[in-house]
Chains A and B, each alone.
Chain A
């Protein structure tokens, strides 16, 4: 190894690093490390001049390894790898030491310690760099078709963009119709255009597009493969209706005697029948039989739908269908669930009749909803005289979800306006802060203020029907500390609307596991980079769009849906993908076939080969995460680019000041020698 020549580059990152770390001193010190041929510090290593510095040294000094001490490799590893490649050095011989996030930023108040830590990180990086080996990426062709999971506005947008560009799309939707939450909404903030008026044409286009295969009432069961070449198994649940014959005339559901509370589309506010189409504009237009509530399936007699269907489309014998799809890319657009307001018992939802959730209210004000658009109490007739709207129910609350759901303030403003428009009621909006960022939102807030909605600042403590003062009988009393006047207030109202949080889908974790993507602490799918790559995931070829990535409103959702399409189209047009060589390799000669690793790979990359009884990593699936490498009790799995030698050397390097005796320590206990 004596002939290795390492170049070490220490970035000032403007003042981000140089403001805390003595970069000149670190650079001088680095030059003295074994095998280091040159050490330099520079204002911005990522600038073209900084990169040229590296390239020049590789060419002129014959560097065989490069260490860049700068920011996180998440940020600039690709930058410096490319610089090395341009100068003819294998890009995998470059190592980064993160002296910004790991030293200068976290030790801003102790410059000396930050400088020492930077040295340790660089020492580790140099030692590790010496153990690196050149690696070559491989290339595989890409399947043209794309799978979109979830047919809300996000999935619809993605599917249409890709299909319009001329490529096939499979759109898998779990419910009988596409549309998602947007189909439930009445008006949309801030412009108050009618939600279904703007959504229906898109749903129609999706259902009729020659490039889109719509698989409604279907779910993905299994995913295997890798970017460019996924194999997906989809279960098409039996509708019990032959869609070749059905015309969507509605005879069946108008005759169905079974009444079921519709907890999905009507958010629990209305009923549907056992054979049903969720809403008139549904795409596709065909109904489904909800077997669990169908009298025939449960009791053995009825078949009213079959009797009345003019085309004989009802098929009680229909079975689920399993489809195998080959796709190159996958977009997850599975949306969100509404927070279950029962979890906050003091707000009384489920116990006090006139406490409603936001989605129930959306259905109530909708002209096509259960009340025909009338704002009434649970009795179905009485118009409220006063309405309380409570913000942040289950959001910004460390007991439930610490995050802000981003849309509820605006929806609450919208509700204030709609109540005012449809009734003479007084409206009280209980808020912590009104979050009205983005275009035209603040203006909408001002408009609602002018319309006379009362805003009370404070988190509501309780909603109760226990009257204590005159005027409270028969009312719901909202108990709140009004933090603007510093007083406890009890405000009697007829109706309470809870602006429940947007939460990750109840099955988000399972879906994440199925597709091999991550979930954040809150449970939303994790993007590759929160700022620079909010659409991609850590799994190549799998993208996320809409509310499944985090709470957001329709404009942001549509933006992400289109962005996901753009990302997919880029890959399709490239025709093939490069596969990172950083991955695990099993030494099959030495694998004892213990099968410890078989179940561990989050990407399903490990197969067990019965004969001769060894395990094998599929290089196209492996992401090099290292899980199996750490677990193999025989230590016969090597993580390329993260070999044992490179990790141990890095640790040795990190501890250079200890192992060089700069730090002294006492013998744990003196030995008694004769």
Chain B
């Protein structure tokens, strides 16, 4: 608590697009209440703070930290550990921090492959000397450093303990508002909770649905859907069936299938697996050939099913090569969490 009696708030972005930052501002004039109610101690996107300002704080001095973005680099991890140590309540804000989101899709590849493509093979790359970024580079003025690039993108709670999760890419303003209100009023749900709903997008979607039988999928440009009938019933891929509600079914209401940005429903361990088994159950085909023919109309299935949740899924990432003695997939608990050095 600051001398003025206001709780201290920090906001930070790690591997993210910046949309979450904008979404905080999307609460409009409510932001004034935030400024009124909180003492903002760190928000590098909006105000001029330095890391040293955070380091100067006492451990646990920050009351709430809204952390968006996945953990992709050493710097992301360092800041996650630092802010965790300084904060009483850590909130994974938005899909990247909560489940990896788009950055997490890089887990279909590894560091070498990503570097190879970006710095050598991509059609737009012009790099005749084959230069790659280094964590340390000697220049006449001295040594330059860059944070190390991880092989695997992690979610925030795979790195540090997290009290609350706010889903969405980005979160809808009303849920940010609800979270802020809860924090201000002190009426917080039990730690570990997701601030949001426990039903799926279909619940908020006004479209009329029937028994499902999918004989083929269409890409959005291939058909003009009926505005009143469930998109999935019309063969347009919609992840709304398996996605936590809260957005108000925004995408389906403008003829665009839900992409799944709110992540799986409450209690679901692996959102992609849920979605796969649901979709697979309603594919109307008998023989393996017929099934293949239907699935052939769904390009990039891994992307469709795990678009937002790969890093948090049971698989976490593609196993590109088997390591010595590596017999089974790692249980989620085994993922490195708190840096022992930083443990309170």
Contacts and interface: CB of A to CB of B under 8 A. Distances in A.
Given A599-B213, A635-B274, A669-B110, A594 B328 contact: no
A673 B77 contact: yes
A592 B203 contact: yes
A176 B45 CA distance: 84
A671 interface: yes
Contacts of A663: 327-328
A72 interface: no
Contact of A594 (B78, B241, B331): B241
B110 A598 contact: no
Interface in B92-129: 110-111
Contacts of B212: 594-596, 598-599
B150 A672 contact: yes
B326 A666 contact: yes
B267 A635 contact: yes
Given A599-B213, A631-B281, A635-B274, A668 B240 contact: no
Contacts of A634: 199-200, 241-242, 265
Interface string A616-657: 000000000001001111111000000010001000100100
Contacts of B242: 633-634
A395 to B, nearest CB: 25
Interface stretch (B13-21, B216-224, B293-301, B317-325): B317-325
A627 to B, nearest CB: 7
Contacts of B148: 672-674
A600 B214 CA distance: 13
B3 interface: no
A600 B267 contact: no
Given A592-B245, A593-B209, A632 B110 contact: no
A644 B203 contact: no
B107 to A, nearest CB: 11
Contact of A596 (B78, B203, B241, B264): B241
A636 B319 CA distance: 31
A599 B75 contact: no
A592 B202 contact: yes
B152 A668 contact: yes
A631 B277 contact: yes
Given A592-B203, A674-B147, A666 B324 contact: yes
Contacts of B211: 595, 598-599, 608
A343 interface: no
B241 A664 contact: no
A669 B111 CA distance: 10
A659 interface: yes
B74 interface: yes
A316 B274 CA distance: 56
Nearest to A614: B203
Contacts of A658: 327-328, 331
Contact of A673 (B74, B149, B210, B241): B74
Q: Counting chain B CB atoms within 10 Å of each CB, which of A634, A648, A672 scores highest?
A: A634
B150 to A, nearest CB: 6
Contacts of B198: 590
Contacts of B83: none
A246 to B, nearest CB: 43
A671 B268 CA distance: 28
B281 A596 contact: yes
B275 interface: yes
B221 to A, nearest CB: 25
A655 B331 contact: yes
A648 B200 contact: no
Q: Counting chain B CB atoms within 10 Å of each CB, which of A600, A632, A655 scores highest?
A: A632
Given A590-B199, A630-B277, A664 B325 contact: yes
Interface in B155-199: 198-199
Interface in A157-198: none
A667 interface: yes
Q: Is the interface of A mostly helix, strand, loop or mixed?
A: loop
A648 B314 CA distance: 12
Nearest to A669: B151
A671 B209 contact: no
Interface residues of A, number: 37
Contact of A592 (B149, B201, B213, B281): B201
A593 to B, nearest CB: 6
A658 B331 CA distance: 9
Contacts of A631: 277-278, 281-282
A665 interface: yes
B51 interface: no
B323 A665 contact: yes
B269 interface: yes
B133 interface: no
B330 interface: yes
Contacts of B267: 635, 644
Interface string A347-370: 000000000000000000000000
A659 B110 CA distance: 26
B283 to A, nearest CB: 11
B336 interface: yes
Nearest to B238: A594
A599 B232 CA distance: 15
Contacts of A644: 267, 269
Contact of B328 (A596, A665, A667): A665
Nearest to A663: B327
A314 B277 CA distance: 56
Given A598-B212, A633-B275, A592 B241 contact: yes
Contacts of B210: 595
Contacts of A669: 110-111, 151-152, 323
A211 B330 CA distance: 65
B202 A594 contact: yes
B327 to A, nearest CB: 6
Interface in B310-344: 317, 319, 323-328, 330-331, 333, 336, 339
B278 A665 contact: no
Interface in A589-609: 590-600, 608
A587 to B, nearest CB: 9
A630 B275 CA distance: 10
Contacts of A664: 325
A599 B282 contact: yes
B269 A633 contact: no
A674 B74 contact: yes
Given A631-B277, A634-B265, A593 B213 contact: no
Contacts of B232: 594
Interface in B237-287: 240-242, 245, 264-265, 267-269, 274-275, 277-278, 281-282
Interface string A242-275: 0000000000000000000000000000000000
Contacts of B149: 672
A489 B45 CA distance: 92
Q: Counting chain B CB atoms within 10 Å of each CB, which of A594, A597, A658 scores highest?
A: A594
B275 A668 contact: no
Contacts of B78: 674
A667 B150 CA distance: 13
A635 B328 contact: no
B244 to A, nearest CB: 9
Contact of A665 (B75, B147, B330): B330
A664 B240 CA distance: 40
A659 B329 CA distance: 11
Contacts of A668: 151-152, 317, 319, 323, 326, 330
B79 to A, nearest CB: 11
5 contacts: A594-B209, A630-B277, A631-B278, A666-B323, A674-B148
Given A592-B201, A636-B199, A665-B328, 17 more contacts: A593-B202, A594-B200, A597-B281, A600-B281, A630-B281, A633-B241, A633-B278, A635-B265, A635-B268, A636-B265, A655-B328, A655-B331, A658-B327, A666-B325, A669-B323, A672-B148, A672-B150
Q: Which 3 A-B pairs have the closest CB atoms?
A: A633-B242, A672-B148, A633-B278
Interface of A: 590-600, 608, 627, 630-636, 644, 648, 652, 655, 658-659, 663-669, 671-674
